[in-house]
Chains A and B, each alone.
Chain A
Amino acid sequence: MEVGGREKMNRGEQGFGIVVTFCIMFLFWLILSGVFDAFHLITGGICSAIVTLISHGLLVKGRGERVLPKSLRLLLYIPWQLWQIVLANVDVAYRVLHPKMPINPRVIEFETSLRGDFALATLANSITLTPGTITIFVEPGKGKFWVHALAKEHADAHLVDKTMQGKVAHVFMEW
């Protein structure tokens, strides 16, 4: 996904990104290997360093603003999202098993106030996982979404109610 927010990072922020990425990679190695002798620790350190060299710019982009409250809000958002996934599955199961297959697909588009990379990706994935909708396109500059909806009520959930957009905007503090 191509988005703005690609300002030149200064040295301090880059160093911060490298340290955070290395710590995450090394922790991940420890969890996956589960062996804590010298050989495995050193190998893990080398591998984490290589991964960090290649991809530190991907994971952490600068220091970010208000990371802690955003993470907390994201944690609160996830249970709601899980419940939406359950609803989505029951809904699809109903439509699949119904003899007449009550679907009336359509493509809708709407604009949101979101601009950040992570916020847009979260909303796109949330839309795909919630009842009857799949994200087709995202236009980052305008925060515009094209969505394929399985039936009219699913489309209305995004065109009229806008519950999810509000929740994601709340999580990432972008109104």
Chain B
Amino acid sequence: MLVVDVTVAILLTIGMFFMFIGAIGLLRFPDFYTRLHATGKCDTLGEGLIIVGLIIYHLFHYPGTPLVTVKLLFLIIFIFIANPTAIHALVKAAYRRGVKPWRWGEGRR
């Protein structure tokens, strides 16, 4: 059980690390598009890793209810489809509205 707990802890930590990076990127990057690069990608992998950790934890600690792991697996699949689609929708809307992409050398927006 110790091995399982350590694995779960590592997965959760890496997942949280990437979510944290996404938050820092949101603050540091200069404009709308680059910020979406940071948040969109890091959220996808971060959430994925956290949910994988939860699946492993559930499988070994509550083996009586395997359907919960299937539901969590569905969550991962939907996040991996919905996240890039949502980023694309945001970027497209911004581009249509005429938000100019930041160029090298310009000031922060």
The answer to the question of A10 belonging to the interface, with a C-beta cut-off of 8 Å to chain B, is no
The answer to the question of A160 belonging to the interface, with a C-beta cut-off of 8 Å to chain B, is no
> Which of A67-75, A100-108, A167-175 is near enough to bind chain B?
A100-108
> Which of A17-25, A39-47, A48-56, A122-130 is near enough to bind chain B?
A122-130
Interface string of A92-128 (1 = CB under 8 A from B): 1101110001011111000000000000000011101
A146, B31: Cα distance in complex, Å: 18
A168, B49: Cα distance in complex, Å: 25
The one of A93, A104, A124, A129 that contacts B18, using a Cβ cutoff of 8 Å: A93
Which of chain A's residues 123-156 have a Cβ closer than 8 Å to chain B? 124-126, 128-129, 132, 134-137, 146, 148, 150
Interface string of B11-33 (1 = CB under 8 A from A): 00000001001001100111101
Interface string of B32-72 (1 = CB under 8 A from A): 01101110111011101000000000000000010100110
From known contacts A101-B29, A103-B34, infer whether A129 and B91 are also in contact, taking CB-CB under 8 Å: no
The answer to the question of A86 belonging to the interface, with a C-beta cut-off of 8 Å to chain B, is yes
The one of A31, A88, A104, A135 that contacts B67, using a Cβ cutoff of 8 Å: A31
Interface size class of B (residues with CB under 8 A): 35 or more
Q: Are B92 and A136 in contact (CB under 8 A)?
A: yes
Q: Are B18 and A128 in contact (CB under 8 A)?
A: no
Interface string of B91-109 (1 = CB under 8 A from A): 1100100000111100000
A-B interface pairs (CB < 8 A), number = 96
The answer to the question of A157 belonging to the interface, with a C-beta cut-off of 8 Å to chain B, is no
The answer to the question of A60 belonging to the interface, with a C-beta cut-off of 8 Å to chain B, is no
Residue numbers of A with Cβ under 8 A of B are 31-32, 34, 85-86, 88-89, 92-93, 95-97, 101, 103-107, 124-126, 128-129, 132, 134-137, 146, 148, 150
Interface string of B80-98 (1 = CB under 8 A from A): 1101110110011001000
CB-defined contacts of B25 to chain A, threshold 8 Å: 92, 95-96
Nearest chain B CB to A89 CB, angstrom units: 4
A-B pairs, top 5 by smallest CB distance, nearest first, are A128-B84, A96-B25, A125-B84, A34-B67, A89-B45
Q: Are A134 and B45 in contact (CB under 8 A)?
A: no
CB-defined contacts of B80 to chain A, threshold 8 Å: 129
Q: Are B101 and A132 in contact (CB under 8 A)?
A: no
